[in-house]
Amino acid sequence: MISKRIFSIALTWLAAMSMHAGTYTFKIAHPEEGAKLKLTWCASNEIMDVDVVNGVVTVKKDGFTPQYVQVRYGKSFSRNLYLESDKDLTVDYDTESRVFNCTGDLASVNNYLLKTRFAFLGFNDFGKDEAAFIKSNDSVYEANLALLKKAGLPAKFTKKEQEHLKLQSYSKFPLYKSYYPYIHKLESFVPSAAYYTKLKELAVMDGSLFEYPEYGEFITNSILCQVFKGGDRKQEFMNFMDAHVADAQVKSYVTNAYLYGVVSGSGLAGNDEVIAYFHKNVTDAKNIEKFDNLCKQWETLRAGNPSPSFNCPDINGKMVSLESLKGKYVYIDVWATWCGPCRGELPYMTKLEEAYVGKDIYFVGLSCDQNKQAWEKRIQKGDMKGIQLHMGNKDEFMKKYLINGIPRFILLDREGKIIKADAPRPSSPETSKLIDELLKK
């Protein structure tokens, strides 16, 4: 009996020892005022926002498997650490010198992660021909593996880090399809079968790989690189996901990443199938709640609802409100002088305005330039027609229209009610057809 009791006590003591919470201390020299430390546990996707007091913060956590943790501190840094629940770590960081140093049980692994100068692709690599680009990616991976081998770290971590380095080294591989034609100013570009073969080898669709910080963005970009063939992008996406993505976790993540952006940018009109597909395939409760809130916000922008208003100065300082434009249709261009795509639409906007001179429609440019002088300088050139107003970048009009990218075009009826909260661009043939139909009424 005594021996059994002693054995039981020993087991209890060992269990208690194994449940020791890891203590992770961050000491920050020259801390940012008001900045918090944000930790994202990649395997569980748990997020912790912690206050930093006098440059010091201590986090205690147990009961998790060893994993990568993304750590962000204000604008100072965003880096990956590797933590274990029964081991301690102290990270010292100076925001001025940008120097890290780790001490404690996990010092060797995290000094490697924070201090190693890993190899990465350069922007010019995307301008190389396909074979050379693939070779550059392979070289980056080989260089990073050599750095890992040189570090001489524990075998268990080294095995995991090899997979991490693969994702890190090839993380930009899916972007070649869009970067190469941009650099060479090509109207169209289709990579060869060899490129897609390599991409498919790299893009393993396995939800367990979300434990690596780069996997979510990499697998999303890899899938989108294979999806679009020149047809209806939303339908192409849904067809590809159903045909090629069996892993439920990957399907949920990528569906959320892409379709949230679709609805965020274009609203509810024409997106009933997209919304249904989202709810069928996205399983993360937080992502579902965020998407549903987005849809509720877009409900206020449905056709027939009153438009959010504006009241902005023209080049002479005269205030012009939306209410003062009632009685005619209103086609609004939300733009900025620094925006390349916005400037690309200006010649088409001028042609559109000239085609409807004297017609029952106003053309309004709402500049969201923070730098008002830049807007004034552009307007003073005298080649921009229509009603040109300066709104700035903090106007409620932009918030209420959920504008997170420009240019954005909006079409209103004679009473100031919404016809299209995300109207076609001036360069689209659909725009003149739409206006012609309206003016017949």
Q: What is the pLDDT of residues 51-87, one digit of tens each?
A: 999 999 999 998 899 999 999 998 889 999 999 998 9
Read off the pLDDT of residues 116-128 as tens digits, 9 standing for 90 and up.
Answer: 999 999 999 999 9
Read off the pLDDT of residues 135-184 as tens digits, 9 standing for 90 and up.
Answer: 999 999 999 999 999 999 999 999 999 999 999 999 999 999 999 999 99
Task: Determine contact, residues 439/359, Cβ cutoff 8 Å.
Answer: yes
Distance CA(256)–CA(278), nearest Å, equals 7
Tell me the average pLDDT of the chain.
92
pLDDT surpassing 50 at residue 236:
yes
User: pLDDT value at position 19?
Assistant: 54
Residue written as tokens 């289709």? 190
Residue written as tokens 């090839």? 170
pLDDT surpassing 50 at residue 4:
no
Q: Residue 116: how many CA atoms within 13 Å on its side-chain side?
A: 23
Mean pLDDT computed over 244-268: 95
Mean pLDDT computed over 237-248: 97
Phi, psi of 29 (to 5 degrees): -80, 140
Mean pLDDT computed over 239-255: 97
Measured torsion, CA atoms of residues 330, 331, 334, 336, in degrees rounded to the nearest 10: -110
Quickly state the pLDDT bin for 383 (edges 50, 70, 90).
confident
pLDDT surpassing 50 at residue 1:
no
Phi, psi of 168 (to 5 degrees): -65, -45
| Interacting residues of 355 by C-beta distance below 8 A, sequence separation 6+ | 432
Phi, psi of 67 (to 5 degrees): -160, 165
Task: Determine contact, residues 365/410, Cβ cutoff 8 Å.
Answer: no
Mean pLDDT computed over 87-92: 96
User: pLDDT value at position 55?
Assistant: 93
pLDDT surpassing 80 at residue 11:
no
pLDDT surpassing 50 at residue 231:
yes
Which CATH code for domain 307-440?
3.40.30.10
pLDDT surpassing 60 at residue 311:
yes
Share of the chain above pLDDT 90, in %: 86
Read off the pLDDT of residues 312-343 as tens digits, 9 standing for 90 and up.
Answer: 999 999 999 999 999 999 999 999 999 999 99
Mean pLDDT computed over 238-251: 97
User: pLDDT value at position 20?
Assistant: 67
User: pLDDT value at position 162?
Assistant: 98
Distance CA(50)–CA(252), nearest Å, equals 28
